[in-house]
Amino acid sequence: MTRARSLSGTIPSMETTHDELKDNTIIVVLGASGDLAKKKTLPALFGLYRQGFLPRDVKIVGYARTKMDRDEFHKRATSYIKNPDNDPEIATSIQHFKDLSTYISGSYEDGAAFDTLNEHLEEIESHYQSKECNRIFYFALPPSVFVPVAKNLKEHCYVTKGGVNRVIVEKPFGKDLGSARELLSSLKQYWTEDETFRIDHYLGKEMVKNLLVLRFANVALGAAWDKNSVSNVQITFKEPFGTEGRGGYFDEFGIIRDVLQNHLLQVLSVLAMERPVSFAAEDIRDEKVKVLRCIPPIERDDTLLGQYVAANGKPGYLDDETVPPTSSCPTFAATTLWIHNPRWEGVPFILKAGKALNEAKVEVRIQFKDVTQGIFKDIARNELVIRIQPSEAVYLKLNAKTPGLYTRAIPTEMDLTYKRRFTESRIPEAYEALILDALKGDHSNFVRHDELDVAWKIFTPILHWIDGQNGPRPRPVNYPYGSRGPKELEAFITKYGYKRSGEAYAWPVTNLASL
Ligand SMILES: NC(=O)C1=CN([C@@H]2O[C@H](COP(=O)(O)OP(=O)(O)OC[C@H]3O[C@@H](n4cnc5c(N)ncnc54)[C@H](OP(=O)(O)O)[C@@H]3O)[C@@H](O)[C@H]2O)C=CC1
Ligand SMILES: O=C1O[C@H](COP(=O)(O)O)[C@@H](O)[C@H](O)[C@H]1O
């Protein structure tokens, strides 16, 4: 049994009930032939293996319908592992990683296929020292097969001889409140909440995890973290590419389901929640649910929808052959959420996300209120910016005296850019951090069932409106591929009190491309 530790390393009285898996463990990746497995799951497993974080004698088993031999699976499984300089040490680790990985092909619906998988797992386990073996099942699968796979695993591959069974499930968890509840209750027939780890990979990102520390380990920041000091908050996700190749999938979901309802809302909940009693998973998740429950469903007037059109030699969303030619699916959305609690009443939280924009960037921008007028006039506002990616950073925009023999305030910043400050540290991939948490049985960075429920309550009415369930579908405004988004965006954020810094502000030299 592991104990919950405080971040300073001392052990508080609170105990978790979970077992850290240290040996006799098989990790089964279902959907191992797919995109997520190839690009994220298997490279993350390799990263953990190389750093010595996987259980001793761990074995990895890929499972999918595609027929392929072990060599072909190894080729796919390692195709996204980077070794640009052909480092022999990394090459040896890759070979060892291949040696511990096998592949079984079979259907998702057929119980007999899972019996075959189970025989393979038992054969591996027959070489383990102990009878108590652990199995982790990672669903890198489309949601259409979540339920049959959950059922077949429980009925055919569940270890009952004292070991631990866990499932790691990827989003999307439903399309609205009703479908999410249906999916959750179907999965619950087979797997308990304790055995289930619902991934939102943003919770594994270093700077999202950092939010808890920044807030609660710094009196100076904690003191200004409320409606008395904060004017508005923006949480922004920008991608410089469109839905190329994924248009068919994307059109069914749209940007709100793809990014806002999960990733950005998770960031908001960590940013806005009250201080948890401890870092134990349920204490953190209790606070997240509490703050989310204070948010009413999003209003149409608090929403701006966009869709990219061809520009700069790049195709528009509707030019994608897999997208219906008249689709009104939003590829950009800005929505404003309000938190009705004593800390945040009246502070707008603006969530913005878009595909095919001018840059790749995810950041949180907390803009503080104006200083009292009198000795200063039209002075820039303070802003605390937490850049989640790329080039992780925290910087505080503040006013300082211009150096020299006269007194004038100039906007500048205190800049904590990770690559400069923590030169020796490697920032883990989000999936590495989360898979390791699942091995430890730590649910803190996974989505609890009631969190999901309340997240869908906030977004479902606006999604039904966009889907045309209660009338005509709203038409998103156009924005050119490679632009900053719809031209209406500036007025939208200004409406909620955001004020741009004056001309005098020079962005930190470390801001982006220089690193
Ligand atoms: N790709 C990504 O970057 C991300 C993906 N996700 C989520 O992860 C999950 C997997 O994503 P991804 O790997 O991209 O998906 P894929 O479409 O690549 O599907 C994964 C595997 O599932 C099987 N599969 C595909 N379609 C079907 C179908 N209709 N019925 C049965 N099996 C099917 C295929 O394997 P086979 O035919 O061999 O059985 C495929 O290789 C999804 O829930 C996705 O939303 C979440 C975040 C990011
Ligand atoms: O879940 C998703 O996230 C990715 C963005 O993830 P990131 O770690 O690269 O920021 C997004 O591209 C994709 O559309 C969405 O489904």
Per-residue model confidence as pLDDT tens digits over 354-383:
999 999 999 999 999 999 988 888 899 999
Question: Is it true that the peptide bond before 172 is cis, omega within 30 degrees of 0?
Answer: yes
Distance 140 CA to ligand 1 centre (A): 6
Among 232, 293, 240, 238, which Cα is nearest to 264's?
A: 238
- In the predicted model, what is the mean pLDDT of residues 227-239? 98
484, 236 Cβ separation under 8 angstroms: no
Q: How far apart are CA 382 and CA 4, in angstroms?
A: 36
Pocket probe mutation, ligand 2, options 201, 208, 357, 431, max atoms within 8 Å of Cβ: 201
Ligand 1-lining residues (CB < 6 angstroms): 31, 33-37, 39, 64-66, 108, 140-145, 170-172
Task: Please give the helix or strand (H or E) that residue 315 lies within, else none.
Answer: none
Report which protein residue has its CA nearest ligand 2's atom 15.
258
pLDDT of residue 185: 95
Burial of 495 (0-12, 13-18, 19+ CB in 10 A): middle
pLDDT band at 162 (very low <50, low <70, confident <90, very high): confident
Burial 120-139 (b: 16+ CB within 10 A, else e): bbeebbeebeeeebbbbbbb
Taking only the tens place, the pLDDT of each residue in 281-319 is 999 999 999 999 999 999 999 999 999 999 999 999 999
Which long-range contacts does 152-155 make (Cβ < 8 Å, 24+ apart)? Answer: 152/108, 152/109, 152/110, 152/111, 152/113, 152/114, 153/114, 153/190, 154/190, 154/191, 155/111, 155/114, 155/190
Taking only the tens place, the pLDDT of each residue in 381-418 is 999 999 999 999 999 999 999 999 988 889 999 999 99
The DSSP line for 192-203 is: -TTTEEE--GGG
Cβ of 258 below 6 Å from ligand 2: yes
Taking 60 as the threshold, does the pLDDT of residue 515 lie above it?
no
Task: Please give the helix or strand (H or E) that residue 266 lies within, else none.
Answer: helix 265-272
Closest ligand 2 atom to the C-alpha of 262? 1
Distance 281 CA to ligand 2 centre (A): 24
Taking only the tens place, the pLDDT of each residue in 460-496 is 999 999 999 989 999 999 999 999 999 999 999 999 9
Taking only the tens place, the pLDDT of each residue in 99-113 is 999 999 999 999 999
Ligand nearest to the CA of 36: 1
Closest ligand 2 atom to the C-alpha of 250? 14
Instruction: Report residue 161: phi and psi, to 5°.
Output: -90, 35
Q: How far apart are CA 327 and CA 307, in angstroms?
A: 10
Distance 42 CA to ligand 1 centre (A): 14
Report which protein residue has its CA nearest ligand 1's atom 26.
142
pLDDT band at 85 (very low <50, low <70, confident <90, very high): confident
Report which protein residue has its CA nearest ligand 1's atom 25.
142
Q: How far apart are CA 14 and CA 298, in angstroms?
A: 37
Residue ranges and CATH numbers for the domains of the chain are: 25-163 (3.40.50.720), 203-495 (3.30.360.10)
Which pTM value belongs to this model?
Answer: 0.93
Residue 509 carries which side chain, given as an amino acid letter? V
261, 172 Cβ separation under 8 angstroms: no
The DSSP line for 36-69 is: HIIIIIHHHHHHHHHTT-SPBT-EEEEEESS---
* CB contact set of 286 (below 8 Å; sequence gap of 6+): 276
